[in-house]
Structure 1
Amino acid sequence: MALKFIPKLSAPSMFFVMVVLAMTTFPAIQATHEFKETHLSFYAHDFLSGPNITDVAFADLKSASVGRIQGMFMVSSLDGRNAYDMLSIVFTNKKYNGSTLQIQGIDKQFEQYRELSVVSGAGNFRFVQGYITYKTVFVDLPNAYFVTQCNVTVRHY
C-alpha cells in the first residue's frame, strides 16, 4: 500500500537524480582525506655475486639498515639494456617500520638516471601514488657491486 505514494520517474529523470547525487557526495568524501607528500632518500648497495649476495637499503655499509629491497627484475629488451623491475621496499626502522612501497616499470639500467612508478603501498603508504628515481653512483663490475641513490616522492593518506 505504501508504494502507491512513491512517484514514478522516467529513466532520464532517474539518471539526472543519480548524477546530481554523485556530484554532491564525491566532493564531500574527498574533502575528508588530505594527501601527505613524503620524500625519502637512501642508497641501495647491490652485491650480485660473492658470499653476501643481497640488496640492502642504507647510506653506508656501517650505518643502520632502514629496510630491504625485495623482488625481481628481468631483461625486457632485445638488446639487453632494459630490465623490467617488480620490487618491494620493506621498511624495518622507526617511523615506517612495517610499511611497504611497490615499485614497477622499465629500468634503463645502463643510464645514470632512471625513473620508475610507485604503484602501491601498505602501512603508512596506503593509497600511494608517486615515483622513484635511481642514480648510479658507483659501479665495480669485476666484483659485481653497485651503489644506487634512490629518491622516492609519494603522495598518500
Structure 2
Amino acid sequence: MLQSHSHSQHDPQDLKFTNLHFFLHEARAGNNTTVAMIARSNVTVDVDNSSMPYGTVYAIDDQLRVGPELDSELIGNAPGLVVLIAGRNTPLSVLLYLDLGFTTGKFNGSSISVLSRNPTTDMQLELSVVGGRGKFRMAKGFAHLKVYSENATALIAELNVTIIHYRGRSEF
C-alpha cells in the first residue's frame, strides 16, 4: 500500500529570493556549434513563410557567461530543447525548455529549469521558472530573455532571472 505524509507548515525563513543576471551565448555555425536540428516535420505548408518551419526540433547546449563578450567568464551551460509550434490562427511560436546549469561560483552544481512558449518574432521573452536543483531547489519565478545581438552564426541573449526557492538544509 502506498503511504503519503503531508506537511503544511512553511517557515518564511526557509524561502529565499535570488536575482541573477548573465548572458546566453549560442553558436549556430563553425566547429563549436551549440545548436543542432534533431527533427523536422514533413508538413509541406510552412507557417508564416518562416525559414524555420513548424514542427522543427532543436537540441541546444548554449554557454552561460558573465557578459556579452565571447571571452567573458564562463559560468555554466544551458542544455535544452527548442520546438517550433503553431496553432490554428496563431503565429509561429517557439516552445523553449532550458536547464540553466551553473559550473562555477556559489551556485556551482545548481540549476534553474525554465519552460515557456513565445512568438518567434519577439526579441524579448518571458520564461517561466518551473523548478531547480541544488541551491535552487523548488524554484519558482520568471526570467526575462532579451536578444542582445543575433546574426546567422550566433545569438547572444541577456537574461535577468528572479526566483523564489527553498533554502534547503545544506545552506543553514
In structure 2, the residue matched to 1:128 is 139
2:106 matches 1:98: no
C-alpha displacement at 1:137, in angstroms? 1.3
Between the aligned partners of 2:144 and 2:120, the Cα distance in structure 1 is: 12
Q: How many percent identity over aligned positions?
A: 28
2:53 matches 1:42: no
In structure 2, the residue matched to 1:57 is 64
* Number of aligned residue pairs: 130
Amino acid at match of 1:43: F
Secondary structure of the residue that 2:112 maps to in structure 1? strand
C-alpha displacement at 1:43, in angstroms? 0.8
Between the aligned partners of 1:98 and 1:69, the Cα distance in structure 2 is: 13
C-alpha displacement at 1:87, in angstroms? 1.1
C-alpha displacement at 1:33, in angstroms? 4.5
Between the aligned partners of 2:27 and 2:12, the Cα distance in structure 1 is: 45
C-alpha displacement at 1:67, in angstroms? 0.5
Amino acid at match of 1:154: I
Runs of 5+ consecutive residues of structure 2 not aligned to the other structure: 1-5, 35-61, 167-172
Give the helix-richer structure, 1 or 2. Answer: 1
Q: 1:109 to 1:151 in 2, by over 3 A?
A: farther
TM-score by length of 1: 0.75
In structure 2, the residue matched to 1:88 is 99
Runs of 5+ consecutive residues of structure 1 not aligned to the other structure: 1-21
Amino acid at match of 1:57: L
TM-score by length of 2: 0.69
Instruction: Please tell me whether Structure 1 or Structure 2 has the larger radius of gyration of its CA atoms.
Output: 1
1:68 aligned to which of 73, 77, 91:
77
Instruction: Please identify runs of 4+ aligned residues in structure 1 that moved more than 2 A.
Output: 31-34, 78-81, 107-110
Aligned ranges 1:9-24 → 2 under 5 Å: none
Amino acid at match of 2:85: S
Between the aligned partners of 1:32 and 1:152, the Cα distance in structure 2 is: 21
Amino acid at match of 1:56: Q
1:119 aligned to which of 118, 130, 136:
130
